[in-house]
Structure 1
Amino acid sequence: MLKIIIPLASDHFIDESGQFNYPLPLIEINGKSVIEYVLSDLNKISGEKQLIFILKDQDCTKYNLDNSLKLLVDNPIIVPLKAKTKGAICSILMAVDFIDQDDELLIVNADQIISCDYNEVLQDLRTQHADGGIISFKSVHPRWSYAKIIDGEVFQTAEKNPISNDAIAGFYYFHQAVDFIEGAFDVIRYDENYEGRFYTSSVFNQMILKGKNIKSFPISPDQMHSFYSVQKLKEFEKYLLG
């Protein structure tokens, strides 16, 4: 089965008026919340799948975010975090009890929308017998994680460091979940961190060291919509309106 993990434990957006003082997934753009846009694409993935959400316990108690998710997805798995972790890897590992080692695993950021067909991406990675895969786009801004890619094959990743002009969108595929689990523990064991936090992209370095096949699916920069600021939310609203 394909397990899809969506970390939602991001900070709140607060602008000068206070109108965005909510968890990012609940912020509305053109009448729909961010998480609705994210899920509309993930729900189109064909085949048997299970969605797993990782979110702050306080967002469940204060904003009922878990109830909102249950209205949008059939039988989701909710993993509440009672304390801040040391990065995405640590948060995702909190869901390990809901993952079988031979499951396909997809980890998708919830603060972005990628305008592409996920079925096409997954089919491409499966056809190439990829052990792992990313979606990449062109950039040089140190905000992103990066990959060294030759002929579609990933040879190295780096967090917040442009080692190439191929940035990684928040889409991480693992043909077998065991590769993520073992790689994640290796990242922590070898302390491969950025400013004290452990990031998902680092798992691919550990897989590459073991001879695993990591592939990239390229998209154009205008297909990548990341909501790291209020301005980016407004830009996406304009994009929807054409």
Structure 2
Amino acid sequence: MNKHPNIIILAGTKADESRHEGDFPYYLTEADGVPLIQSLIENCASLNPDKIVCMFPVAEVNKYHLRNMVAQMHPAAVAHPVHESTMGAACTALLASEDIDNGSELMIISANEILDEPFHKIITSFRAQDRDAGVVIFKSLHPRYAFVRLTDTADVIEAAEKNPISPHAVAGLYWFKQGKMFVEAVKHMIRKDAKVNDSFYIAPALNELVLQHKKIGAYRVEPAQYRPLKSAAQVHAYESHGSRA
């Protein structure tokens, strides 16, 4: 197994038309002078990745010269323009199939969800448990999140998007022992038309792995270690106080 994973950072598929003129995208929000996307990439660097693929709306790639910016943050980082709205996060991730449909590890994170936990600590745990895939979870019942149902030994046996089937909410990080395993699972999910609110999300793809008897681990963090950036107030708090606000 290649211990130099490929990483996908999901940062939207279309420009936010509701943003005020002159405002920058949330992933360029600065804390202590460092853009959020740079903080994420620097956290990814501890995994010695082969490639960090940052998925941005094509209009923003050009407007903010994101190719130049990202390339200077880490030698493995590239900006991947998303040319139009997709049918959800799983479909957006599939746009990077050329880089991830292989035997290397794959980690997928969202740029609007911050984890106050070192990525290498999380991934090392999944490796040590010999898992085929893994998710980070925290305690919540709010239906904005994805959820997983666990066995007594903390193995994932079911996943659902925006449906609290358990108090184990997903904190926006997914890991797969092989990228091709994720690609195959998403394709199966799409063939079954397993959409939620007309979109294909990443969490339900875990159900395809469950059907294949894959071992899916769960790494728990405290609710205070997970911070979504999905509203203007949350973005402002990050800008004012940083990741530990």
Q: Give the TM-score normalised by structure 2.
A: 0.90
What's 1:90 paired with? 91
- Summarize the alignment of residues 72-91 of structure 1 with structure 2, pairs less than 5 Å apart: 72-91=73-92
Please tell me the residue identity of whatever aligns with 1:51: I
Deviation at 1:230, TM superposition (A): 1.6
CA distance in 1 between partners of 2:179 and 2:125 (Å): 18
What's 1:5 paired with? 8
- Unaligned 5+ segments in structure 1 are none
- Summarize the alignment of residues 78-227 of structure 1 with structure 2, pairs less than 5 Å apart: 78-150=79-151, 151-227=153-229
SS in 2 for 1:22: coil
- Given the superposition, is the C-alpha separation of residues 180 and 240 from structure 1 closer, same or farther in structure 2, using an over 3 Å criterion? closer
> Retained in 2: the 8 A contact 1:111–1:228?
yes
Please tell me the residue identity of whatever aligns with 1:116: E
- The CA RMSD measured in Å over matched residues stands at 1.9
> Retained in 1: the 8 A contact 2:61–2:67?
yes
Deviates more, 1:27-36 or 1:193-202: 27-36
> Retained in 2: the 8 A contact 1:25–1:111?
yes
CA distance in 2 between partners of 1:90 and 1:58 (Å): 19
Q: Does 1:31 align with 2:21?
A: no
SS in 2 for 1:140: coil
- Given the superposition, is the C-alpha separation of residues 106 and 37 from structure 1 closer, same or farther in structure 2, using an over 3 Å criterion? same
Q: Does 1:229 align with 2:231?
A: yes
- Given the superposition, is the C-alpha separation of residues 77 and 36 from structure 1 closer, same or farther in structure 2, using an over 3 Å criterion? closer
Deviation at 1:75, TM superposition (A): 4.0
- Given the superposition, is the C-alpha separation of residues 27 and 189 from structure 1 closer, same or farther in structure 2, using an over 3 Å criterion? same
- Given the superposition, is the C-alpha separation of residues 199 and 49 from structure 1 closer, same or farther in structure 2, using an over 3 Å criterion? same
> Retained in 2: the 8 A contact 1:139–1:167?
yes
> Retained in 2: the 8 A contact 1:12–1:22?
no
CA distance in 1 between partners of 2:216 and 2:179 (Å): 14
Deviates more, 1:61-70 or 1:180-189: 61-70
> Retained in 2: the 8 A contact 1:146–1:159?
yes
- Given the superposition, is the C-alpha separation of residues 241 and 127 from structure 1 closer, same or farther in structure 2, using an over 3 Å criterion? closer
SS in 2 for 1:72: coil
Deviation at 1:69, TM superposition (A): 1.0
- Unaligned 5+ segments in structure 2 are none
Deviation at 1:80, TM superposition (A): 1.2
> Retained in 2: the 8 A contact 1:107–1:173?
yes
CA distance in 1 between partners of 2:87 and 2:225 (Å): 30
- Given the superposition, is the C-alpha separation of residues 13 and 114 from structure 1 closer, same or farther in structure 2, using an over 3 Å criterion? farther
Deviation at 1:239, TM superposition (A): 5.7
> Retained in 1: the 8 A contact 2:101–2:183?
no
Deviation at 1:5, TM superposition (A): 0.8
Tell me the alpha carbon deviations over residues 96-142 of structure 1, each in whole angstroms, 9 at most, x when there is no partner: 11224211111111112101121111111011110100000001111
**Percent identity of equivalent pairs:** 27
Deviates more, 1:66-75 or 1:18-27: 18-27
